[in-house]
Amino acid sequence: MTRADAPRVLVVDDEPSICRSCEKILTREGYDVKTALSGAIALDLLGREPFDLVFTDLKMAEMGGMELLEVLRTRFPDVVSVVITGFATIASVVETMKVGAFDYLPKPFTPDEMAAVARKAWERRQLLMRSRGTNAQASGDATTFAGIVGASPRMQEVYRNIRKVATTSSTVLIIGETGTGKELVARAIHAMSPRKHERFFAVDCGALSVTLLESELFGHVKGSFTGAVCDKRGIFESANRGTVFLDEICNVDVDVQAKLLRFIQEREFMPVGSTQTKHVDVRLVFATNRDLERMVRDGTFREDLYYRLYVFPISLPPLRERREDIPLLAAHLLLKTSDRCGRSVTRFAPEALTLLEQFDWPGNVRQLEAVIERAVIACDGDVIEARHLPRTLARQTLPADLTIPRNNREFLALKKRLRDQAVAELEREFVLEALQRNGWNVTRTAADVGIQRPNFQMLMRRHGIRGGAGLDPQAHEPDDSADLGVSEVS
């Protein structure tokens, strides 16, 4: 009888005999096993029940293993997948690893071989769960969502919006700075939609010229422009019944904007150089890292197109506005990067993690991932220390105009200045917080903090703070000759 806490395994193969053999082997090893004779059945089971591991054949009649792996990577990123493959297809294992497979099991295999691969996969699953702060049977994990990592209130709101809009066919506009994960959100919307089994196309509108973008989206007919040596089907036609993600829509030329507006309104288009109209059923998701409303005012973006895009906006917060997610993201990216680099780096030293949490990350998650990859390469052990991180992370906390001292005398003078500044900032916050806590009553505040009223008033004057929640515009800079550090006032 299988234990209630046994790892849950799903075996996917269109040969019933293979399913029965795998189920017998894994059950004997203590796993809770279910089988599916097609990828579609497997996805239905995965949508209704939590699984830890998936063993899937590559060659299946309905949905192939590669397609199943693609869906697993998007919708069930924490499930560890193993490919079952014949000797003739071992070369394709490299491709399966690119789409998320953890390991492979060549046919024919012995019970011991399958048990060994399952043990490795289960160890990997446990490591993933530890990095997410979850447990083996977690469902609806608050820290990850369709491949997106984050547990902060801002990200929970993003997850709620994705759930709301995914089941519809409405146009979505994702707004966020570069590197915040806009494409991940678009893929999550597709993966949770009724179109999830159809194709998903991602197009970077800023990376293509006007002519090339128009041709890529709408297609063209032979001879329509120089180099058009044959007819070409565009992305919209190829994505019929699926989803198209147009990233950085803010970079699209005004002429292409007009054609996009027509396509959004009617879901019809004409390939470049053609006079024949084509109709398709495509779900559109757009993204921008610029203020489209301001672009409309500036005359660089069509107002009518803006209103067509702004049906259901989803705003992604920059990393500096969800710092509580940084440890979680760092652990996730460390695991991912260590695997890719073939290293066994497992954790961050406390001082290194503090630097990551304090940095502003202008490049957001993309920049964080690059920094972690650099640190993994530089690390010669299993722990990333502060010395493995770029010096720019440590220097961010220093004044922008800081000049590095050239000798010990300059160093000591700078050290005193920085210390005095830090104490002054702390002193000011101490006074403000105390006043706010006591309703800006000076007498009550002074008694509350244990300072004589005249001395507390002197602190207020030093920092330009007036009674009644105001700041004194005539306040002077703190006078070093009359130092009244909080700890010294009696």
For the segment 468-488, the average pLDDT, to the nearest whole number, is 38
Residues 112-115: contacts with CB within 8 Å, 24+ apart?
114/22, 114/25, 114/26, 115/25, 115/26, 115/29
Judged against a pLDDT cut of 60, whether residue 87 lies above it is answered with no
410 — pLDDT class (breaks 50, 70, 90): confident
* pLDDT value of position 215: 87
Which range has the worst mean pLDDT, 110-114, 146-150, 172-176? 146-150
For the chain, what is the largest distance between any 2 Cα atoms, rounded to a whole number of angstroms? 89
* pLDDT value of position 361: 93
191 neighbors 243 (Cβ within 8 angstroms): no
Structure tokens at 433: 């917080």
Instruction: Measure Cα distances from 139 to 69, 136, 146 in Å.
Output: 20, 9, 12
Which position has the higher pLDDT, 114 or 208?
Answer: 114
Judged against a pLDDT cut of 90, whether residue 137 lies above it is answered with no
The full set of domains in the chain, from first to last, is: 8-132 (3.40.50.2300), 149-315 (3.40.50.300), 320-395 (1.10.8.60), 409-488 (1.10.10.60)
For the segment 370-381, the average pLDDT, to the nearest whole number, is 91
Q: Determine what percent of the chain is predicted with pLDDT higher than 70.
A: 87
For the segment 22-42, the average pLDDT, to the nearest whole number, is 91
Judged against a pLDDT cut of 60, whether residue 136 lies above it is answered with no
Judged against a pLDDT cut of 70, whether residue 488 lies above it is answered with no
> H/E/C letters for each residue in the chain?
CCCCCCCEEEEECCCHHHHHHHHHHHHHCCCEEEEECCHHHHHHHHHHCCCCEEEEECCCCCCCHHHHHHHHHHHCCCCEEEEEEEHHHHHHHHHHHHCCCCEEEEECCCHHHHHHHHHHHHHHHHHHHHHHCCCCCCCCCCCEECCEECCCHHHHHHHHHHHHHHCCCCCEEEECCCCCCHHHHHHHHHHCCCCCCCCEEEEEHHHCCHHHHHHHHHEECCCCCCCCCCCEECHHHHCCCCEEEEECHHHCCHHHHHHHHHHHHHCEECCECCCCCEECCCEEEEEECCCHHHHHHHCCCCHHHHHHHCCEEEECCCHHHCHHHHHHHHHHHHHHHHHHHCCCCCEECHHHHHHHHHCCCCCHHHHHHHHHHHHHHHCCCCEECHHHCCHHHHHCCCCCCCCCCCCHHHHHHHHHHHHHHHHHHHHHHHHHHHHHHCCCCHHHHHHHHCCCHHHHHHHHHHCCEECCCEECCCCCCCCHHHCCCHHHCC
470 — pLDDT class (breaks 50, 70, 90): very low
235 — pLDDT class (breaks 50, 70, 90): very high
Whole-structure pTM over 0.85, yes or no? no
